[in-house]
């Protein structure tokens, strides 16, 4: 067994190994939860060093990440769960600060507040679902159904908190905007917000902005022949603003109807009028886009944002990308709701991301409430439904220079799904008919 003498830093430099840093890291985490025994931290550090030396190769150096992974493992296996949690959170915080200093992460100022991200991570650690390995464990040990219940309770509480903010404004809000990137959970959230407001005497009226798309024939195509639904200009913004102003003024409008299968507005319209005790609810990808609601004053609007703020590490220790969760959701939903196959959804996704970056993310700082729409139990379900498609996607796109965006996404998602355990039981006993996931896999009590 080789003695541990050198390690590789994050920047690639090889430096002398210092066990005292491990002792300090463990002891600091222990102090956070009331521990006072530094000698115990030294004993645990010795165990960490022993494991590092056992796994050390003849030519490779352990990295800082390797050491941190083994510290987590040893703390948990030794029964120090609270200290392990403190260390995991401390590690995450240091990672985020380092990325911030190196200008390698998104700026959360004017975007998702760091406090919200921290709350999601803290919850994930508390509920033992902060990594792919932990989620796999919950499947293997039979606690997956409990995880579904835990996640549902968290989401429901977040929705209720948003509704309470609207109620607390004493009837001044005439329009609630539920915004967020594609497949983040806007529609289900919209419905559930409505349920809470109804319980407090407000009648919520939904105005589905998807009905305001221009006819498909008016949309431009790219070299692949794809239509772009993702830009706000694909919607009739002038008509939307006219109808919003008329509704708040007490007038009756004729709301259009859009048929996604034909790509046209139908001759059918729906009369709509906003009464004094009613609040208009807008569920839109582009609800935060200022020209969308420019005819309404700010004090009459409540802006809510939902995103899959998933804080789950993959097998490599990297956090799973939020957009990868959402594309899996959209693949499933589009297959039964819009008649698209998963390949079409994947090939179209570059439009989705471009639009999100241009027309959604810059406005998150203007919202009144942010809801976490991530569901740590959903990946095993998508493994069952979608995994079979991805090997073919990777093969087909690998040498296609015009589809490299699709290839990169497909390869990354395939590796993610490879690492996750499959879950096939989507019965109501396990996944109830009123949860957010039903928006994508079907079987919901709600109408979408």
Low-confidence ranges of the chain (pLDDT < 70): 1, 11, 57-59, 96-110, 219-230
The SS3 call for residue 261 is coil
Query: What does each C-alpha distance from 163 to 154, 160, 286 come to in angstroms?
Result: 15, 5, 20
SS3 content of the chain, % helix, strand, coil (to 5): 55, 15, 35
Report how far apart the first and last C-alpha atoms of the chain are (Å, whole number): 61
What is the pLDDT, as a whole number, of residue 49? 92
pLDDT given at position 316 = 84
Give ∠ CA 323-329-334 in degrees, rounded to 5.
120
**pLDDT value, residue 261:** 85
Alpha helices in 169-286 (DSSP H): 186-199, 237-248
Query: Encoding tokens for residue 277?
Result: 């005790």
CA separation for the pair 293, 186 (Å, rounded): 17
- Residue 13's pLDDT is 76
Report if pTM > 0.85: no
Looking at residue 75, its pLDDT comes to 92
> What's residue 355's pLDDT?
79
């Amino acid at each position: 067994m080789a003695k541990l003498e050198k390690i590789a830093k994050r920047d690639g430099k090889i430096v002398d190994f210092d066990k005292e840093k491990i002792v300090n890291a463990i002891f600091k985490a222990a102090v956070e939860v009331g521990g006072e025994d530094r000698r115990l931290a030294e004993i645990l550090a010795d165990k960490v060093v022993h494991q590092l030396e056992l796994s050390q190769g003849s030519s490779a150096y352990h990295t800082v990440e390797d050491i941190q992974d083994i510290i987590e493992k040893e703390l948990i296996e030794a029964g120090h769960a609270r200290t392990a949690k403190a260390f995991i959170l401390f590690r995450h915080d240091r990672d985020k600060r380092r990325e911030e200093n190196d200008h390698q992460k998104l700026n959360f100022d004017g975007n998702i507040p760091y406090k919200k991200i921290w709350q999601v991570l803290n919850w994930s650690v508390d509920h033992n679902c902060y990594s792919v390995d932990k989620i796999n464990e919950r499947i293997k040990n039979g606690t997956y159904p409990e995880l579904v219940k835990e996640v549902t309770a968290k989401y429901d509480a977040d929705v209720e908190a948003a509704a309470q903010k609207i109620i607390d404004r004493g009837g001044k809000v005439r329009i609630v905007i539920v915004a967020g990137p594609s497949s983040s959970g806007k529609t289900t959230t919209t419905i559930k917000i409505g349920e809470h407001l109804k319980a407090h005497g407000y009648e919520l009226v939904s105005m589905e902005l998807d009905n305001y798309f221009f006819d498909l024939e008016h949309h431009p195509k790219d070299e692949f022949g794809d239509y772009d639904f993702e830009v706000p200009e694909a919607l009739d913004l002038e008509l939307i603003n006219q109808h919003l102003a008329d509704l708040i003024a007490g007038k009756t409008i004729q709301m259009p109807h859009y048929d996604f299968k034909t790509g046209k507005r139908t001759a059918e319209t729906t009369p709509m009028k906003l009464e004094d005790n009613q609040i208009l609810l807008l569920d839109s990808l582009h609800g935060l886009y200022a020209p969308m609601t420019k005819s309404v004053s700010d004090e009459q609007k409540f802006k809510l944002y939902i995103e899959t703020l998933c804080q789950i590490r993959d097998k490599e220790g990297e956090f799973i990308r939020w957009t990868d969760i959402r594309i899996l959701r959209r693949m499933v939903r589009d297959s039964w709701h819009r008649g698209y196959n998963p390949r079409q959804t994947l090939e179209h996704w570059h439009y989705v991301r471009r639009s999100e970056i241009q027309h959604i993310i810059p406005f998150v700082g203007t919202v009144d409430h942010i809801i976490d729409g991530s569901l740590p139990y959903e990946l095993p379900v998508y493994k069952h439904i979608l995994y079979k498609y991805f090997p073919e996607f990777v093969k087909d796109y690998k040498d296609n220079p015009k589809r490299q965006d699709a290839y990169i996404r497909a390869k990354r998602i395939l590796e993610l799904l490879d690492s996750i355990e499959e879950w096939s039981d989507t019965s109501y006993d396990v996944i109830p008919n009123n949860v957010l996931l039903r928006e994508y896999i079907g079987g919901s009590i709600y109408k979408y």
